[in-house]
Structures are given as structure tokens and as C-alpha cells.
Copies of this chain bind each other. A is one copy, B any other.
Amino acid sequence: VQEKLESVGVDETGIRALLSRLRVGAGIKRSEDIVAAGHSPAYSAVLLDGIACLYQGLPDGNRQIYAFQYAGDFCDINRRLLPDANKEVAVAAVTPCLIATISDIDLDRLMMQHPALATAMLRLSMFEARLLRKNLLSVARWSALQRVAHHLCEHIARQESVGKSSTAIALSGSDLADAAGLTAVHISRTLKELQGLRLLAKMGRTMKVVDRKGLAALADFDSSYLDSHRLPTNWEVEVDARPETKAGDRRAALPFIDLRTS
């Protein structure tokens, strides 16, 4: 399930170590919280299957979805090192989900034992930041049509990156609305417009993407910002002990990691 970690540059022993510490948890039904707002458990959740969303509840009862999460994603990296501040955000299941948990203690220890894992967490955090920038740009500057197209493209691309290539859209209209910063009503109209453009088709209840290239062109979507998520695989990690430690320093000699691109 976790070839995702490979994609961010973790070596094999690191992956095995992490997997051995994962405890498979319960399944979660649609619309249920995986990580509740204001709650700080002593473990982190990893999504094994399904789609989840990082969101914030709004005073008026609506919610803003910040990002979607797919199989292999850590649900709450953000929560770990900035303890108090993320009280307001939560993670909910968008489709039925299967999650695993890992205790914070285990994760801390693993990150120390496998430097590549620590680097991977940093990379994941920056990856999340990039997704957020894309969404910010989309909401701030683009039309509703482009915004929705963008979300559909991103959804397809990220589904593919975890091995599920289907043109069917697993997101409901109101999910799209919460993510794109639009009304469910207007999402409905926009989807209909996309059908008129022969980019989308509706089979009974669910939508299917018909013209993926057309959709990408409309949204100015360049999937490379997602691929690079796995691009760092080419990074080689060389470890060799270096005698940099001063005498009398309790700190052990640290491995020097030489990062270089393929």
C-alpha cells in the first residue's frame, strides 16, 4: 500500500521499519471525522484506502476544504509540530476510508533512525504547501469553470498516482463546492456547462471525465507539480560517518548526507 513512501525518497529499510510500526485501524464511513477538530491524539493517522479531506468548519455551518488526501497520505502532518495551533482544522472521510495509526513516539524514533524518513516528512509538508498555493491561485484568480476543472484534473491525477486510474469522479457536488469556494448550486450549473462543452458526462448519479486534455487545457493544468512528488526518487542518499564532532561533545557523530539529483 505504501509505495508512496518510495516516491518521496525513503529507502527500503526505512519503509519496512515504518510499516512494521503501523497498526491498521478501523474503517471510516463517508462524512465521518478521521481527526476531529481540537483533538490531539498521541498518534498520527495514515490513509490506507479511500479519499479524505483536510477541512475547517465555518461559523455559518459551511466548511472550507483545504486539500484532499489519498491512499498513503499522512492525515495530519501539520498537527505534529505545531501543537496548539491547528485546533480548528480536521480531517474527514469523503469516501469510505481505511486508516492505520502510528504512535507519535514510534514516529519520532523512526525519523531519528532513518534520516531519509525525516527528509521525507519535510518533503511531504512542502508538497502540501504547493497544493495549497495552487488552490489559492485557483480561488483567487480563476473563474468557477476553471476552478472546477482544475479540481477534477487534480483529482484524476492524484487517483492515478496511487494506482487508481478511473475517469469516474468520486466527489459529491457539495464536496467540490466546499473545496472550490463556491456554492453547491453554482457547482451544479458549472458541471452542466462542462457537459455542454463535452468535457464531462453524467451517468445517472456519478460524473465521468470525457475529454481529459480539454479539461486540462481549460484549467491550465500541468500535472508536473504532482509528478515531482515522485520525481525525487532519483535522489541518492549516501551515508558515511564524518569526524566532525568536537571532543567532549556528547552528541554522537552524525552521518553526512549528500543529496544530489540523479
Task: Spell out A's residues near B (CB within 8 Å).
Answer: 56, 58, 62, 64, 66, 77-78, 81-86, 89, 108-109, 112-113, 115, 118-119, 121-123, 125-130, 132-133, 135-137, 139-141, 180-181, 224-225, 228-229, 231-232, 239-241, 244, 250-259, 261
Contacts and interface: CB of A to CB of B under 8 A. Distances in A.
Contacts of A225: 85
B231 A240 contact: no
Nearest to A84: B228
A56 B250 contact: no
Which has the most chain B C-beta neighbours within 10 Å: A58, A126, A181?
A: A126
B109 A256 contact: yes
A234 to B, nearest CB: 10
Contacts of A82: 123, 126-127, 130, 228-229, 232
Contacts of A254: 112-113, 115, 252, 254-255
Contact of A122 (B125, B137, B239, B259): B125
B58 A112 contact: no
A237 to B, nearest CB: 11
Number of copies: 2
A228 B83 contact: yes
Given A126-B78, A129-B129, A139-B140, A84 B240 contact: no
A contact patch SS: helix
Contact of A241 (B77, B229, B252): B252
A64 B257 CA distance: 36
A126 B133 CA distance: 13
A139 B181 contact: yes
Given A125-B125, A254-B115, A254-B254, A86 B130 contact: yes
Contact of A56 (B137, B232, B258, B259): B137
A158 to B, nearest CB: 15
A219 to B, nearest CB: 13
B257 A108 contact: yes
Given A85-B228, A112-B115, A125-B122, A141 B64 contact: yes
Given A130-B85, A136-B135, A181 B252 contact: no
Contacts of A250: 239-241
A255 B118 CA distance: 13
A52 to B, nearest CB: 16
Given A66-B136, A125-B126, A256 B118 contact: no
A224 B85 contact: yes
Contacts of A140: 64, 139, 180-181
